[in-house]
Amino acid sequence: MNCKLFLIAAVAALTAGGALTAPAAVNIRIQADQPGAAISPTLWGIFFEDINYGADGGLYPERVKNRSFEFPSPLMGWHVEAQAGVGVLVGTEPAHGVNNRHFLRVTNGGTAAVVLRNEGFFGMGIQQGQEYEFSLQARCVGRERPTLAFTLTGADGRHLAGGSLKGMGNEWKRLAVTVRAGATDLKAHLSILVKGPGSVDLDLISLMPRKTFKNHGLREDMAQMLAELKPGFLRFPGGCIVEGRWLTNRYQWKTTIGPVAERRLIINRWNDEFKHRPAPDYYQSFGLGFFEYFQLCEDIGAEPLPILNCGMACQFNSGELAPMDQLQEYIQDALDLIEFANGPVSSPWGKKRAEMGHPKPFRLKYLGIGNEQWLQPYIDRYAAFARVLKARHPEIQLVSSAGPAPDDEKFRFAWPKLRELKADIVDEHCYARPEWFLNNAHRYDGYDRRGPRVFMGEYAAQSDKTVSVNNRNNWECALAEAAYMTGLERNADVVVMASYAPLFGHEEGWQWRPNLIWCDNLRSYGTPSYYVQQMFSLNKGDRTVPLLLEGVVPTEGGKPRFYATAARDTRTGEIILKVVNATPGAVEAQLTLEGVAWGRGRARVTVLTGGLKDENSIEFPTRVAPVTSTLPLGALAGPFSFWKHSLTVLRVPIR
């Protein structure tokens, strides 16, 4: 029997049979009459970074690579298929903005067409029946009038779509045509044909799907996967990408807004970070920039959490520091970002937001100062930012960094200093083996309740080791994360935000694994970790309910491997119980509800389980996926069986 059928049968058996006859090994006492902590609406969120082709080649659906010829190798991604005078010129006129000085001059001296071919990002994903807009900026040079046409061709040579562009004159002009694809191809390519004698200048060559998420320009399937997490926040733009290897290629939000042509392209720091996973064509076009980011937050109902460079380049690389007396530029960037997000349209940056189509503020409430920084240089810089920002914007909660690991000398250095500075929220990171997560579900039980609060800003269980190409997104890792997450929820008075990292991985373009969501040029799927995140997020509740595990708590290798947390959903009048059974056998548990009575109706049971090495894939996207059923409440009177290696969420109406 396949796993899903097995589960359906099992849930059906429970539904029909009610209480099990085996004696309960463990008693789960849900103390619904005891006060619990408020659960922050931001508890479960998303970490986005442009790694693994997460933006260009991913969520930003531009199909043309190097559309403006601004890559350091100006013809990277392009192939010229005819012998003719074809040249790339560096414009001396800032025709399309100072950040876009290159264009392609094509001179056709012969009778055959000059064919310019763009390879896209691992090819171009083209979907049958979908519309695509092909556009470019063009002008003729001189009196001759060559004509322009284009085709989309499948990997097997099949014609998918094509058209011609009319109206070219001697001034730069945007020409566009929309076509419908006649067939699907994951690895299509674009050809532009320049026919007839003469010279033309081409720039900003683009092929975009017409249908995007909420019509806001992002790839629909990928953004939809984010929406389906119902995230409390969206951290952006990273990750080390915030820092840059050197300060010159740090992420600067101001260069990512306004007309796309004017956004300054920079190298993506993951381009050459790992010698074993080189990505020489990885650049940041910023088609997905800060405006699109804020808009995405709004579209998926997530609080924005921008992370800004604090005057420090990546400490794994150069560790370059902006001198303390030159920090003002960086702090000003933070002040201006707050104004861009929240300022009135009469303010300089609020005006820019309005010009981009969003006069209403984005209601920014959180701001991260630096990504994964450490030791005294960071503390000094955080303090300088906090001094200004707290005076000018006391309404903004600041996120500070505790370094790259959850318990090393950098971490132990950071916490007392940040506590002394009365930091709002401290960002902790952890990439470790599944055992770490299983062993640390009680990590926050002993944290000081007086603050600062915790943001578990990057975490993921590593089946091999950090940065290993052998890491797998298997159920064993996801199950360990689920166990750990019960501890985050139980300590919701301390932990106010948490996000798995990284978010996206392109099947052909990854530098780092594991990732929460994988995609190719057309499809995306959630890993087992995705479904764990989703089950916690969709079943968050608004107040924790104290819970005791009594009796014989199941162990493995002498360590407790059975985890639970309970919450109350005041809106629906339900108790939400989450249980992780990380043992290799089913566990019968008695549920005891104290202080309130079971209500009416049925309980909803969602179970996520699988073989420890099971993974999802493009071909089998839901091999490990939750199965939901309902139970009569009477079935909860006797012992309840929790599947081996499972995460179970029970939603029970109470009176």
Query: Residues 257, 355: contact at Cβ < 8 Å?
Result: no
Q: What is the 3-state secondary structure (H, E, C) of 246-313?
A: CHHHCCCHHHHCCCHHHCCCEECCCCCCCCCCCCCCCEECCCCCHHHHHHHHHHHCCEEEEEECCCEC
Stretch that binds ligand AHR, among 140-148, 232-240, 335-343, 576-584 (CB under 6 A): 232-240
In the bound state with ligand AHR, the residue whose beta carbon lies nearer, of 84 and 405, is 405
Indicate which single residue of 78, 436, 475, 512 sits in contact with ligand AHR (rule: CB under 6 A): 512
Q: Least CB distance from residue 49 to ligand AHR, whole Å?
A: 5
How far are the Cα atoms of 63, 183, 189, 209, 211 from residue 180, in angstroms, in the given order?
A: 15, 9, 15, 10, 11
Site string for ligand AHR, 367-406 (x = CB under 6 A): ----xx-------------------------------x--
Among 292, 424, 427, 458, the residue binding ligand AHR under the rule CB under 6 A is 458
Nearer to ligand AHR, 239 or 541 (CB): 239
Rounded distance between C-alpha atoms, residue 278 and residue 572, angstroms: 50
Among positions 85-114, residues that touch ligand AHR (CB under 6 A) are none
Active site residues: 372
Residue 442 CB, shortest distance to ligand AHR, in Å, is 25
Q: How far is the CB of 358 from ligand AHR (least distance, A)?
A: 28
Residue placing its CB nearer to ligand AHR in the complex, 484 or 512: 512
Beta strands in 514-654 (DSSP E): 517-519, 524-526, 543-545, 547-551, 555-556, 559-560, 562-569, 574-581, 587-594, 602-609, 627-632, 640-642, 646-653
Q: Decide: is 505 part of the binding site for ligand AHR (CB under 6 A).
A: no
* Nearest distance in Å: CB 328, ligand AHR: 25
Of 511 and 606, the one with the shorter C-beta distance to ligand AHR is: 511
Question: What is the helix (H) or strand (E) element at residue 11, kind and residue range?
Answer: helix 3-17
Q: What is the DSSP letter of 215?
A: G
Q: CA 400, CA 322: separation in Å to the nearest integer?
A: 18
Q: Which stretch binds ligand AHR (CB under 6 A): 154-162, 238-246, 562-570, 632-640?
A: 238-246
d(CA 256, CA 337): 12
Least Cβ distance, residue 415 to ligand AHR (angstroms): 18
Exposure string over 281-290, b if 16+ CB within 10 A, otherwise e: bbbbbbbbbb
Nearest to 604 by CA among 569, 644, 552, 562: 569
Q: 106 vs 307, which CB is nearer to ligand AHR? A: 307
Under a CB-based contact definition with an 8 Å cutoff, are residues 61 and 213 in contact?
no
Q: Phi, psi at residue 379, to the nearest 5°?
A: -55, -40
Among 238, 287, 368, 509, binds ligand AHR (CB under 6 A): 238
Tell whether residue 554 is a contact of ligand AHR (CB under 6 A): no
Nearest approach, Cβ of residue 302 and ligand AHR (Å): 18
Pick the closer one to ligand AHR by CB: 186 or 240: 240
Nearer to ligand AHR, 138 or 310 (CB): 310
Residues 6+ apart with CB under 8 A from 16: none
Backbone angles phi, psi at 389, to 5 degrees: -65, -40
Q: Closer to ligand AHR at the Cβ: 502 or 626?
A: 502
Nearer to ligand AHR by C-beta: 154 or 239? 239
CB 632 within 8 A of CB 19: no
SS3 at position 228:
coil
Nearer to ligand AHR, 240 or 454 (CB): 240
The window from 157-165, 234-242, 277-285, 415-423 that contacts ligand AHR (CB under 6 A) reads 234-242
Do 556 and 527 contact (CB within 8 A), yes or no? Answer: no
Q: Is 240 in the site for ligand AHR (CB under 6 A)?
A: yes
> What is the rounded CA–CA span in Å between residue 225 and residue 519?
11
In the complex, least distance from residue 269 CB atom to ligand AHR, rounded to whole angstroms: 9
* Region from 163-171, 237-245, 616-624, 647-655 binding ligand AHR, contact rule CB under 6 A: 237-245
Question: In this chain, which residue has its C-beta nearest to ligand AHR?
Answer: 239
Stretch that binds ligand AHR, among 167-175, 215-223, 233-241, 288-296 (CB under 6 A): 233-241
Of 15, 524, 331, the C-alpha closest to 516 is 524
Task: Choose which of 24, 49, 364, 382 interacts with ligand AHR (CB under 6 A).
Answer: 49
* C-alpha–C-alpha distance, residues 465 and 204, integer Å: 41
C-beta of 451: minimal distance to ligand AHR in Å? 24
Nearer to ligand AHR, 11 or 46 (CB): 46
- Give the β-pairing of 495-500 and 453-461: parallel
Residue 239 near ligand AHR by CB under 6 A: yes
Report d(CA 338, CA 346) in Å as an integer.
14
C-alpha distances out from residue 280 to 61, 72, 123, 277, 302, Å: 20, 11, 16, 10, 33
Q: Min. distance of Cβ 314 from ligand AHR in angstroms?
A: 8
Report the residue count for the chain.
Answer: 655
Span of 83-91, 235-243, 386-394, 585-593 interacting with ligand AHR by CB under 6 A: 235-243
Sequential DSSP letters for 17-76: H-S-SSPPSEEEEEETTS--PBPPTTSB-EE--S-TTSTBTTTB----TTTTS-SSSTTT
Each residue 319-358 as x (binds ligand AHR by CB under 6 A) or -, in order, gives ----------------------------------------
Residue count, binding to ligand AHR (CB under 6 A): 12
What φ, ψ does residue 637 adopt, rounded to 5°? Answer: -70, -35
We find the least distance from the C-beta atom of residue 410 to ligand AHR, in angstroms, to be 12
Q: How far is the CB of 53 from ligand AHR (least distance, A)?
A: 14
- Contact mark string toward ligand AHR, 475..504, x via CB under 6 A: --------------------------xx--
Which residues of this protein are in contact with ligand AHR, per CB under 6 A? 49, 51, 238-240, 371-372, 404, 458, 501-502, 512
